[in-house]
Amino acid sequence: MGIKILAPEVAAKIAAGEVVERPSSVVKELLENSLDAAATQITIEVQGGGTQLIRVTDDGHGIPAQDVNLAFYRHATSKLSDASDLDSIATMGFRGEALPSIAAVARVSMVTRPHDAEVGREVHLGWGEEVRSSPKGCSQGTSVAVQGLFENLPARRKFLKSASGERSRISDLVTRYALAFPEVGFRLVVDGRNTLTSPGNGSLADALVSVYGADTAGSLLEVSWEDTGDGYGVRGFISSPSMHRANRTYITFLVNRRWIQSPLLSFALAESYQGFLPERRHPLTVLNLSVPLADADVNVHPAKREVRFLQENSVFSALQRGVRAALVAFSPVPEMSSAGAPTAGTGPTTDSTAARFNPSTGAMWDGQQRSMPLDSALVQDDPTPVEAMSSLRILGQIRNTYLVAEGTDGMYLLDQHAAHERVLFEKVSKEVAGQTPQSQALLEPESVELSTAQEEIVQSSAGLLERFGFVLEPFGERTYLLRAVPAVVTDAHGGKALLEVLDLMAYEGLLREREETLAASIACHSAVRAGMGLSQVEMEELVHQLQSCDSPHTCPHGRPTIVHLSSHHLEREFGRR
């Protein structure tokens, strides 16, 4: 086939695909235009997950009447003059691609008026072509409405998530911008319901309250560090070591207040918390890195999600020093315990009558001894035949995390958390499949304040949560009364369990069916943790329960529950072969 120039409408759709991936991409581009226009109040309205309607209204500078039509031409922008401006980009947008890209795949209308104009201007476009334009009376600022997104690109539209999934992405995006620009008041209205209102008073602490709630925001640690020599610095808030989450969705990195994703910053944050957090737990952070404009290249990704740094070491050092300084200042000097006194969490109690955690049911044991045969079969994903593992003898724990067992063909190590996750996952799944979920009512309803993302999960999965044992009742804006929890949940505060489950559902919901995700989330939260000492009886019971599972090889998230070190391998390591 010979070479030919693409038709303008085809080229426009291809170019739009680089900028407009989904409804949240439209919201992002319009929000950035509003911020560049110095808006102090921004309202985002969404219907049908953004495919029916997205409207962003601001009180910014507005667009002069003679420039309204020009704004929809590709590479038309008021933010750059020549190539040298690319060396130090201070605006959120700069390519002049947002409006024409959106207009190429939707029906768009704009109403705008600068402060010095007596009348505004209204323009309507359909799939990139102007339909009509006329004067219109309106308040100062700009309102852009986007309807029928991707109706002219059914191939693109069919790859979108459900309406609830797209709403969740939009909510997450708006909350990040509310945290990046606390001096701007953001209001998000989803299907006629107000889901987020930030005060816009310039206080990041108050913005955090509007996004995460007063309890969470009030327990965060402030970070403030700056190197006056090279202009690098970091400001924001981080969670204390006692507060951590099951996934990374609560980590917000901003570079010169631009929300980005960065493996470099993620690694620096993980290194900063090294020794402060349990394994596979993550902090809640909102950190803005101040970087000289000339040292940050924001023009490396079509959607501006990534930034390339000229001085990566300086960026890494700034974040690590700032976070470490806050953590060290918070952490008290450890006190010496009296001689012989046991330290909390260092091992299992020796009191045989103490109430303890029951791995099989998720309830507390009364300490009564129960018999269990040690020669039970245990299936694992090692190539060793099952017959070689016909008997296991539990020897103890390593670091209160891994169970050590001796079998007929060597040594076996079990991850107690992963193993108990598998046990509880299958228990909960079978109860729900048989429509016999075990739920326990709380003695007193617990008030739980949710983030916008968590509330989105509750709204879209209320019936599913109740099927699994969570009984919730609305109790004000983003606040719910928790009346019952699944029986396997043993926390004194069921609200903590609910928040953990909602976080895991949000994180894994794109990869799993909701039912499987919820069962895995409940199991993960309720399972014994790494670092928890278990008695001999408890360890044996856990192995016994794992044997009975349909898929004992891995936890619900795919991690192995058991590994095998054969006798042959042991002899080879010790030079006996």
Q: What is the 3-state secondary structure (H, E, C) of 451-476?
A: CHHHHHHHHHCHHHHHHCCCEEEECC
Q: What is the CA radius of gyration of the chain?
A: 28
Contacts of 320 (CB under 8 A, 6+ apart): 268, 271, 272
> How far is residue 171 from each of residues 28, 165, 186, 572, measured CA to CA in Å?
11, 10, 11, 57
Whether pLDDT at 471 is above 50:
yes
**Bridge partners for 251 per DSSP:** 285
Question: At what angle are helices 514-526 and 416-433 packed, to 10 degrees?
Answer: 130
Helices vs strands, H then E, count in the chain:
16, 24
**Percent share of the chain, pLDDT over 70:** 81
Return d(Cα 196, Cα 15) in angstroms, integer: 32
Kind plus residue range of the DSSP H or E element containing 383: none
**What average pLDDT is seen over the chain?**
81
SS3 of residue 36 by DSSP: helix
Residue 446 has pLDDT above 70, yes or no: yes
What is the value of pTM for the model shown?
A: 0.68
Give the H/E segment covering residue 119: none
Q: Do 146 and 108 contact (CB within 8 A), yes or no?
A: yes
For the cut 80, the answer to whether the pLDDT of residue 168 exceeds it is yes
Tokens 């108050």 label which residue?
206
State which of 166-175, 294-303, 329-338 shows the largest mean pLDDT: 166-175
pLDDT of residue 85: 55
For the cut 80, the answer to whether the pLDDT of residue 142 exceeds it is yes
Q: Which of the two residues, 159 and 29, has the higher pLDDT score? A: 29
SS3 string, 205-272, reads HHHHHHHHCHHHHHCEEEEEEEECCCCEEEEEEEECCCCCECCCCCEEEEECCEEECCHHHHHHHHHH
Q: How many CB atoms neighbour CB 94 within 10 A?
A: 19
Using the predicted structure, report yes or no on whether residue 511 has a pLDDT greater than 50.
no
- Taking only the tens place, the pLDDT of each residue in 233-280 is 999 999 998 888 888 889 999 999 999 988 899 999 998 888 788 777
Predicted local confidence at residue 338, as pLDDT? 39
Name 572's Cβ contacts closer than 8 Å, sequence gap at least 6.
none
Domains in the chain (CATH in brackets) are 8-200 (3.30.565.10), 219-330 (3.30.230.10), 357-577 (3.30.1540.20)
- Helix ranges (DSSP H) in 114-153: none
Segment (H or E) for 388: none
Reading phi first (left if > 0) and then psi (alpha if -120 to 50, else beta), residue 524 is in alpha
Task: Please state the rounded mean pLDDT for residues 27-41.
Answer: 94
Number of Cβ atoms within 10 Å of the Cβ of 9: 13
Decide if 166 contacts 50 (C-beta within 8 A). yes
Residue 568's pLDDT is 81
DSSP string, 153-188: -HHHHTTS--HHHHHHHHHHHHHHHHHH-TTSEEEE
**What is the band of 18 on the pLDDT scale with cuts at 50, 70, 90?**
low
pLDDT of residue 303: 65
CB 263 within 8 A of CB 271: no
Distance CA 181, CA 203 (A): 9
The per-residue pLDDT for 87 is 62
In this prediction, residue 436 carries a pLDDT of 81
- Indicate the helix (H) or strand (E) that contains 560: none
Q: Are 247 and 504 in contact (CB under 8 A)?
A: yes
| pLDDT exceeds cutoff 80 at 493 | no
Structure tokens, 467:
């099927």
Q: What is the pLDDT of residue 86?
A: 60
User: pLDDT-derived band of residue 350, with 50, 70 and 90 as boundaries?
Assistant: very low
Cβ count within 10 A of residue 548: 12
**Contact at 8 Å (CB) between 548 and 360?**
no
Does residue 84 have a pLDDT over 60? Answer: no
